[in-house]
Amino acid sequence: MYRIFYICAGLLLIYPLTTLSEVEPSDTEIIVTTATRSDILHQELVGNTSRIDDEQIELTAAQHMNQILSASSGVWLSRGNGQESLLSVRSPVLTGAGSCAEFLSLQDGIPLRSPGFCNVNQLFDSSFEFARAIEVVKGVNSARYGGSAIHGLVNVMTPVDALPTSIALELGPNQYHRFDGQGSWQTHHSVTNVALTVSDDGGYKDSSGYQQQKLMLSQSMDDWNNWAIQNNFTLSHLDQETAGYLQAGEDAYLDRNLARTNAFPNAYRDAFSLRLHSRWLTEIEGRAWQITPYFRKNHMDFLMHFLPGTPVESNGHSSFGLQANVSEALTETWDWRIGMDWEYTEGELQQSQENETQTDSDFLNAVLPQGTHYDYQVDANSIATYFQLTWQATNKLKLQSALRFDHIEYDYDNALATGRNREDGTPCSFSGCRYTRPASSKDSFGDASMEMAAAYRLSQPLQVYIKWDRGFRAPHTSELYRLQNGQSTADIDSVIAKQWELGLRGITKDWFFELSAFELKKDNGIYLDSDRQYLNGLNTTHVGSELDLKWHMHPLFSWQANLSYAKHTYESNAVNSDGSILNLTGNDIDTAPRWIASNRFNWQLLKNTQIQFEWQYLDRYFLDAENTQSYPGHQLAHLRIVSELTRALTLSLRVNNLFNEAYVERADFAFGNHRYFVGEDRGGLIKVKYEF
């Protein structure tokens, strides 16, 4: 029913918009995307991809990536404390160990974390501060990018052209300051870039704040024995004092003094990441080859302040991988691409608790013991092959398809005694400890992803497309090997997602718009039941529409708008491990606002001053699966002013939360209590940049 409604609504919009056939098409090629793993004009793309360009990234000068991703429709990056976040793309805000596996987070087309080892906060590893563009590819895209691209993906693209040499200093509230520096040097055939950012934030809440450092080195060679080579090295480190959620009653965030309190003053997060890749491109006898070997290393320690007993987790993994593909235009109307992705990973996780649990519950005190809870290593080997075919059937009709098969194998080695006893082997009271260590094992998962799509050019600037995708994601290692309450094995399988999408895109010299409607059905969803056991069988439906709009209405004025409406619904009840039923069918999924919107008004004041006013809207959403508690939503406004005082000197002013709205970045409801991740008050930041 929903599919029919949105398809009809989309078709009804086509007729009036065909008047754009009389408008001059865009004569520039400034919108280029790598959503197909190769450069393509946005005008030719099938599927909804938002591209946030370097001008908007520079103007926003984001402290946190959620400040820049608001420029894409259907996206909500919920900010936690410091640099923490939870991602939503055509989805609710998903939580839990494996929720990050519903999305792909990439840098230069390479995942930030290995399959099965992702982290919900992993976007803080990305080099978004230096990005030349950020792309958000929405919906199911497993056939092109692999498992985990169920709801969408975010790709941070680092510079390949020479960077101007500059230094910048930014100061803001709560003892915030950031230093940025970049430069480049060139030879006849190569460009080498270096960029550094160092941030220090004293924190909005008590006993909070962070220090973060990021370094990027890149080199591009355009002709080395007929190869173009792009080498990239990035390093990041985050040392964060973490403030937890506010739990002081319903609407507690409205009390400004209470909002700054921190019930978890000892919480912290220490994260390190290193990534290196080398992309080789050439053309041999009409075939374009692309080969990208890469290496990554991640490590993170953090206090799990959200759990009774506040254990410490230490996790990390190291990976070697290779992406390779070849493409060819067989004729003027047919072209194909075939490729392979391979990766080998060694990962480990330890969780330990220094002291005995001390709560008001004798049960929790007994089942959450002092000592080591988990200590395991997982070696993972993943390989995928894919084939893509495009046929330009007529000068107006293009058909394309993609098929991919992924296989991943986990070799899990448990270093502690199997079962749910204490570290020393003694049993806990109340039938055993909560934390359960399954026996060492080997597990493998494999599945196929498919795409079929068609695009029809109604006029030179106007294109309509329809697309069907099937994707999947394998269980996360934490869902398989970090069990609780006596679950000896996690009898779970891959999540399957299928999506229909209809879209309309128009590009002229002064206009860009993209309107899409989608229905995404997810089957065999993995969830954590009331006994804290991982189970399959939760089905959900995600139906909605998105609009991205840019209008250069005057040489001095432009308008950008992003609007999305989506309804995220449970389509089945959750069946607990004891056979009891949690009635969810027909309910809205929690933390899933239906409306998300943003508008950015740009004004070129005089010759050297740019002003941007941004307005954001987040709709009401439910906090629990039973739909009994809710957050009313909020509206925020931000002001940005950039003025070139001289050819070399630029002064910027940004005011976040201009009207000082009391709001939360995210709210939830757990164990009978409202929990709020409080948003910050109005804050002004001043930045001085000098370009040599």
Please provide the DSSP assignment of 68-108 as one string.
Answer: HHTTSTTEEEEE-STT-EEEEESS----STTGGGGEEEEET
Q: Would residue 58 be called left, alpha or beta, if left means φ above 0 and alpha means ψ between -120 and 50 degrees?
A: alpha
Residue 460 banded pLDDT, cuts 50, 70, 90: confident
pLDDT of residue 628: 94
Residue 289 has pLDDT above 50, yes or no: yes
The per-residue pLDDT for range 206-246, each reduced to its tens digit, is 999 999 999 999 999 988 889 999 999 999 999 999 999 99
Residue 593 has pLDDT above 80, yes or no: yes
Q: What is the largest CA-CA distance in the chain?
A: 80
Residue 26 has pLDDT above 80, yes or no: no
- Residue among 467, 530, 468, 460 nearest 497 (CA): 468
Contact yes or no for 478/378 (Cβ under 8 A): no
Range in 259-263, 390-394, 528-532 the model is least confident about: 528-532
Q: How big is the CA angle at 678 (ends 629 and 532), to the nearest 5 degrees?
A: 55
Residue 305 banded pLDDT, cuts 50, 70, 90: very high
> pTM of this prediction?
0.93
pLDDT of residue 377: 98
Residue 133 banded pLDDT, cuts 50, 70, 90: very high
Q: How big is the CA angle at 257 (ends 254 and 260), to the nearest 5 degrees?
A: 95
Both structure tokens of 426: 């003694």
Residue 20 banded pLDDT, cuts 50, 70, 90: very low
The per-residue pLDDT for range 395-448, each reduced to its tens digit, is 999 999 999 999 999 999 999 999 999 999 899 989 899 999 999 999 999 999
Phi first, then psi, for residue 603 (nearest 5°) are -135, 120
CA 37 to chain centre: 18
How many Å apart are CA 39 and CA 135, to the nearest integer? 13
Q: How many residues does the chain have?
A: 692
pLDDT of residue 36: 63
Residue 7 banded pLDDT, cuts 50, 70, 90: very low
One-letter amino acid identity for 26? S
Residue 488 has pLDDT above 90, yes or no: no
SS3 144: helix
pLDDT of residue 32: 57
One-letter amino acid identity for 542? H
Residue 529 banded pLDDT, cuts 50, 70, 90: low
Mean of the per-residue pLDDT values of the chain:
91
Residue 3 has pLDDT above 50, yes or no: no
Residue 21 has pLDDT above 50, yes or no: no
Range in 52-56, 468-472, 535-539 the model is least confident about: 535-539
pLDDT of residue 31: 56
Percent of the chain with pLDDT over 70: 94
How many Å apart are CA 292 and CA 153, to the nearest integer? 19
How many Å apart are CA 285 and CA 674, to the nearest integer? 64
Residue 17 banded pLDDT, cuts 50, 70, 90: very low
Both structure tokens of 667: 């709210």
Range in 35-39, 93-97, 145-149, 347-351 the model is least confident about: 35-39
Region 539-548: mean pLDDT is: 96
Phi first, then psi, for residue 580 (nearest 5°) are -70, 155
Both structure tokens of 210: 């962070």
The per-residue pLDDT for range 92-117, each reduced to its tens digit, is 998 888 889 999 999 999 999 999 99
pLDDT of residue 40: 76
Region 261-279: mean pLDDT is: 96
Region 650-670: mean pLDDT is: 96
Q: For residue 381, with 0-12 CB atoms within 10 Å meaning exposed, 13-18 middle and 19 or more buried, which class applies?
A: middle
How many Å apart are CA 180 and CA 162, to the nearest integer? 16
DSSP assignment, residue 283?
Answer: E
Residue 152 has pLDDT above 50, yes or no: yes
pLDDT of residue 39: 74
Between the alpha carbon of residue 452 and those of residues 122, 469, 543, the distances in Å are: 31, 7, 19
Residue 30 has pLDDT above 60, yes or no: no
